[in-house]
Amino acid sequence: MAPLFSRLLYPCFVLIMAGAIAFIPLGKTAVAIDVSLSTGDLHYNDGQGHSMPYRLYLPPGYNTPGASFPLIMFLHGSGESGTDNVAPSAKFIDGIYSASQGYLGAQYKAFLLVPQTVWGWQDYGPQDPDYVGQSLAMDILNSLISTYQVDTSRLYITGLSMGGFGTFDFIAHYPNTFAAAAPLSGGGDISTASIIKDIPIWAYHGVADTTVPVSDTDEMFDAIEAAGGNMEYTRLDGVGHGGWSNFYDGSTYKNSKGQTVYQWMFAQSLPVPEPSSAALVAATLAFGLLCRRPSFNKN
């Protein structure tokens, strides 16, 4: 009887277990970024002889009427400089892409902007090549805001190495634009601490970094604290110039409040301007774009 009983019930047992497993929530993990899933090989031209390649990754449901999504701008490192429009998306940012596409939770869906510069993000003055790079990236950002349903109260910026320096520099020059910033393995100008002290910042740096010394971020942390700010800081012993994928995976590190990087980032927002102020900003932006006569093209 027992063998017959087993033969009869075993198939049912398998079906029941399969059904139960189907209802077990699966862990949310990062997926590899695919550049072909972007809007394409886009290039911005400011009409003054300067151009910049960039890729834009659209969140699912981006064109749903009435919906709006945050936007993350990622600044690559020096190793990804150039004009191929592929390298900045090919390394380190699977976690950012996964979050922005909703793989780590629907609450993190966002536009992901990945511009590419020939060299440098810092802005030292109108005649400096890096100034052009930063200005072009901001032009692209403003154009996307006027084209897509972007939540302008939730613009985030992050970057690694050279892009970490760029992240500190962007928020110093545009302190009312970004709701949060995450500079990795970079540094900044300590004289700007009073300007950026109220911007939510989560920095990351390896103590064993021999390419960009950890002191560069330490000094920014000290300056911001002295100015009355409160910068989150993941400072890791035994880590060199790297580890960025672990930071961006959204689960390896937590801040002082126990938040993961995306829980922290997407909780930040800027005050929504009054209608009159919003209209003035829109008019100023439109006038600026008209005067620059920019052009966008897809190669």
pLDDT per residue over 82-134, tens digit each?
999 999 999 999 999 999 999 999 999 999 999 999 988 887 777 777 778 89
pLDDT per residue over 163-193, tens digit each?
999 999 999 999 999 999 999 999 999 999 9
In the chain, the percentage of residues whose pLDDT exceeds 70 is 81
| Confidence band of 19 (pLDDT split at 50, 70, 90) | very low
Per-residue pLDDT, 1 = 46
Out of 11-15, 216-220, 258-262, which region has the weakest mean confidence (pLDDT)? Answer: 11-15
State both tokens at 107.
Answer: 């609450």
| Reported pTM | 0.83
pLDDT per residue over 241-271, tens digit each?
999 999 999 999 999 999 999 999 999 999 8
- Choose among 174, 223, 179: nearest CA to 201: 179
Indicate the Cα dihedral angle 125, 128, 129, 133, nearest 10°.
Answer: -10
What is the Cα–Cα distance from 198 to 214, expressed in whole angstroms?
22
Other residues' Cβ atoms within 10 Å of the Cβ of residue 274? 9
H or E element at residue 277: helix 275-292
Domains defined for the chain, CATH in brackets: 29-298 (3.40.50.1820)
Q: Provide DSSP, 198-232.
A: TS-BEEEEETT-SSS-THHHHHHHHHHHHTT---E
Per-residue pLDDT, 184 = 98
What is the Cα–Cα distance from 150 to 138, expressed in whole angstroms?
14
Per-residue pLDDT, 252 = 96
State both tokens at 95.
Answer: 């976690």
> Tell me, what amino acid is at 78?
S
| Confidence band of 286 (pLDDT split at 50, 70, 90) | low
